[in-house]
Chain A
Amino acid sequence: TQLLEQSPQFLSIQEGENLTVYCNSSSVFSSLQWYRQEPGEGPVLLVTVVTGGEVKKLKRLTFQFGDARKDSSLHITAAQPGDTGLYLCAAGGADGLTFGKGTHLIIQP
Chain B
Amino acid sequence: DAGITQSPRHKVTETGTPVTLRCHQTENHRYMYWYRQDPGHGLRLIHYSYGVKDTDKGEVSDGYSVSRSKTEDFLLTLESATSSQTSVYFCAISESAGPSGNTIYFGEGSWLTVV
Chain A residues at the B interface, C-beta cutoff of 8 Å: 1, 30-33, 40-45, 48, 50, 88, 90-102
Contacts and interface: CB of A to CB of B under 8 A. Distances in A.
A32 B101 contact: yes
A30 B99 contact: yes
Chain B interface mostly: strand
Given A1-B59, A92-B102, 20 more contacts: A31-B99, A31-B101, A32-B101, A33-B101, A42-B90, A42-B92, A42-B107, A43-B90, A44-B106, A48-B100, A48-B103, A50-B99, A94-B31, A95-B50, A95-B56, A96-B33, A96-B45, A96-B58, A99-B43, A101-B41
Contacts of B107: 42
Interface string B18-38: 000000000000010100000
B43 A43 contact: yes
12 contacts: A40-B108, A42-B92, A42-B108, A45-B104, A45-B105, A92-B101, A93-B97, A94-B102, A95-B48, A95-B56, A99-B44, A102-B42
B102 A41 contact: no
A92 B98 CA distance: 11
B101 A48 contact: yes
Contacts, number: 68
A29 to B, nearest CB: 9
Interface of B: 31, 33, 40-45, 48, 50, 56, 58-59, 90, 92, 94, 96-97, 99-109
Contacts of B109: 40-42
